[in-house]
Chain A
Amino acid sequence: MTDVASVAEQLAADQRPLTAAEDARYGRSQIQLIWLRFIRNRAALVGGAVVVTLYLVAAFANFVAPYDADQRFDADIYVSPQPIYLIDDGKIYPHVLGLTLTTDPETLRRSYAPDPTQKIPVHVLVHGTPYRLLGLIPGDVHLLGVDRPDIGVFLLGTDRQGRDQLSRILMGSQISLTIGLLGVFLSLLIGSLLGVASGYYGGAIDNVIQRAIEVIRSFPSIPLWMALAAAFPPHWPALQVYFAISVVLSFIGWTWLARQLRGKVLALREEEFVLASQLSGASDLRIILRHLIPNVTGHIIVISTLAVPGMILAETALTFLGIGIRPPLVSWGTLLQDATNIQTLAHAPWLLSPVAAIVIAVLAFNFLGDGVRDAADPYSVV
């Protein structure tokens, strides 16, 4: 390994200018260095790719999902996941098998058996339920589907109201994936402002803020979230509950960031550039916003990436307990609520499929966060 200092010495001894290749190698900016470190970490790259994909799918969920989250197929209650058969008679002919309903004469339980004589072709880009993409652009084309409105294709089965589980998971991702981001964003706003102020001013302000953090951190997080979430009046509209939940999540979230940033700023405020801008008459706000916060940006990004999965899980947990997101909104937590009953689960185990979605999202975020943390560490070797 050649470190920069020894290269500089060598150059001075050689008395020659840098060649273009050397210039490109040693003249990299901090951002470039971080990026180079990041793309070497395969797990982080995969995690990042999955995260980006998840958010793209969430944004275009109306298009990707075969149906609307609330669309009921009254004749198809608790249909088990239907596989797509790609080949028929040696030809490529993607199809699903039609279903015949049978009722157990003793238990009166309805079950569906695939009917091999009934082959329903599956098409890519079919016209179906109309929707508004991102709430704006009207459309009715779905990525996958059958072109008969009376028959559905349920890749992950249906629930007790005959709603397509896959569509519900995809539509639910819109809430589950964004509420964590919003929570982290709010924590960032509060945490960075209070943390930086705490470190910069010290004294009484520092004392008050640190004491507040200590008090909040004295509570175990889930019970505190539960107590806060239980305070929402039942008549609140869905959207308001959504924002309120993210506020609740950030109620604890900001303390982590504030603690860490305070430590960083305590060191930074002794630096000459802070003294210089104080002497040139900059206001405190300007110093905080223009000089201190940019210096801790890397740190803020790392902490927030690592905080997102926890928030996603927290939303799911609260909703699962019945004090988070409420129907008619669909989130991964509300989907899991249907899976609490053992009898239901034994009969329809595919209702557990949101667990897979949550695990994938959290795993991807964890890998991404780890990678960002390692990459942003200026002492690690490229």
Chain B
Amino acid sequence: MIAYITRRLLGMIPTLFLVSILTFVIIQLPQGDYATALAAQAAGSGGTGDEAFVQAIRHQYGLDQPVYLRYVTWIVGCLHGDFGYSFEWKRPVGELIGSRLGFTILLSVLALAFSWIVAIPIGIYSATHQYSAGDVGLTTLGFLGLSVPDFMLGLVYLFVAAFFFNASASGLVSADLEQAPWTLAKVWDFISHLVPAVIILGVAGTAQLIRIMRGNLLETLGQQFVTTARAKGLTERTVVNRYAVRVAINPLISVMGMQLPNLISGSIILGVVLSLPTTGPLFLHALQNSDTYLAATFLLLLALMLMLGNLLADVLLAWADPRIRYD
């Protein structure tokens, strides 16, 4: 197993290298750079945004160097943990990104946990009560959950919270508590903001997992070892929980690898809708203002998270299912 993980990690290096080049190229694509964005801003607010100003800014930030040189400087810095400097925030990128990325991971992991905790019992119920009213209802609900994108759920939730509960749903804590110390009230406030976000983010994944769990379990329940288990007089409960479910659950682990990118994507856009401190709002802002290093580092680290997540899913699968061997 360790050999397998090492091999996978080593295999990631060339991909990551190519990913970093593509990242930098894409982020460099927009016409104009931070200097022109700044000049436009200055001109908009009545200041001077002339060519000399642009050149001065460019020189100050090293934007007059050729692209490949800037790439090399950036990537070498990244390897040392120095991700560059954010033009917009006048702070090192690493400082800005740390907590944001952490919160993105927290939100994604919580949403993942939520979707598993909810989906597996429902999937089992649906499969063991196939075509019952409950099954049809839950399956329909699942399909609906799959079709409503998370950012729209977020919008609807914002509306419902504001209209019916008279509460502000955006942000991580209510505005009046933002500066307050971490008292019990603030922790409760934090949780009441976090839970809806986790649920909204987890809905689509839950729906998908229910469908897969139901299908897998139905298939497994028709297999002969289940008949054998029933024939030797085990209770239905034991047959389902200890025999069928344990086999049917394995493919879900490989689904986790596919869920992760969706969760990361979802947390980005949901972060913008609900004004959460995920990478979303900061990334969007950086993209729109040609804050090159900030945007590039975000994109690179998101890709890295995805690759590591997929590796984790593969390792988990091998650990859970003794039939799978990777050597």
Q: Give me the interface of A with B, judged by CB distance under 8 Å.
A: 211, 214-216, 218-224, 226-228, 230-233, 309, 313, 316-317, 320-323, 336, 339-340, 342, 345-346, 349, 352, 355, 358-359, 362-363, 366-367
Contact = CB atoms under 8 A, between A and B. Distances in A.
A340 B170 CA distance: 11
Given A366-B146, A366-B147, A346 B163 contact: yes
A101 B234 CA distance: 73
Contacts of B16: 218
Give the residue among A211, A214, A220 with the most B Cβ atoms within 10 A.
A220
8 nearest A-B residue pairs (beta carbon): A222-B265, A231-B29, A230-B287, A220-B264, A362-B147, A363-B147, A220-B261, A231-B30
B156 A342 contact: no
A95 B266 CA distance: 44
Given A220-B261, A226-B284, A323-B287, A355 B156 contact: yes
Interface string B145-158: 01111011001101
Contact of A227 (B26, B143, B156): B26
A321 B269 contact: yes
Contacts of A346: 159, 162-163
A38 B29 CA distance: 45
Contact of B152 (A219, A231, A355): A355
Given A227-B26, A346-B162, A339 B155 contact: yes
Contacts of A222: 264-266, 268-269
Contacts of B156: 352, 355
Given A223-B298, A362-B149, 14 more contacts: A220-B262, A222-B269, A223-B264, A227-B23, A313-B149, A321-B269, A322-B284, A323-B288, A336-B152, A340-B273, A345-B162, A359-B144, A363-B143, A363-B144
A23 B127 CA distance: 39
B15 interface: yes
Nearest to B261: A220
Contacts of B26: 224, 227-228, 231
Interface residues of B, number: 49
Interface in B260-300: 261-262, 264-266, 268-269, 272-273, 279, 283-284, 287-288, 295, 298-299
B158 A345 contact: yes
B268 A219 contact: no
A64 B155 CA distance: 28
A346 B165 CA distance: 12
Given A215-B18, A219-B302, A346-B159, A321 B27 contact: no
A285 B246 CA distance: 48
Nearest to A221: B265
B168 interface: yes
Nearest to B148: A359
A355 B155 contact: yes
B162 A359 contact: no
Given A218-B306, A227-B27, A230-B288, A342 B265 contact: no
Nearest to A318: B269
Contact of B284 (A321, A342, A352): A321
Contact of B268 (A223, A323, A358): A223
A226 B31 CA distance: 16
14 contacts: A215-B18, A218-B306, A219-B306, A220-B268, A222-B266, A224-B26, A227-B26, A227-B299, A231-B29, A339-B155, A342-B158, A349-B163, A355-B148, A355-B152
A211 B302 CA distance: 19
Nearest to A355: B152
A339 B162 CA distance: 13
B255 interface: no
A214 B279 CA distance: 23
Interface string B21-51: 0110011011110000000000000000000
Given A211-B18, A352-B155, A223 B302 contact: yes
A227 B300 CA distance: 12
A362 B29 CA distance: 32
Nearest to A235: B31
A317 B299 contact: no
Contact of B269 (A224, A317, A352, A367): A317
Interface in B228-275: 261-262, 264-266, 268-269, 272-273
Contacts of B264: 220, 222-223
A349 B162 CA distance: 11
B118 interface: no
Contacts of B148: 355, 359, 362
A309 B147 contact: yes
B303 interface: yes
Contacts of A214: 15
A359 B147 contact: yes
Nearest to B281: A321
A321 B286 CA distance: 13
Nearest to B283: A223
Contact of A223 (B32, B155, B265): B265
A220 B29 contact: no
Nearest to A349: B159
Contacts of A363: 143-144, 147
Contacts of B15: 211, 214-215, 218
Nearest to B158: A342
Contacts of B32: 233
A286 B158 CA distance: 56
A349 B144 CA distance: 21
B101 interface: no
A221 B299 CA distance: 11
Given A220-B306, A222-B269, A352 B30 contact: no
B105 interface: no
Contact of A226 (B261, B266, B283): B283
Contacts of A352: 155-156, 159
A219 B266 CA distance: 13
Nearest to A339: B155
A215 B307 CA distance: 10
A358 B306 contact: no
Give the residue among B152, B158, B302 with the most A Cβ atoms within 10 A.
B152
Given A226-B283, A231-B26, A342-B158, A215 B19 contact: yes
A232 B29 CA distance: 8
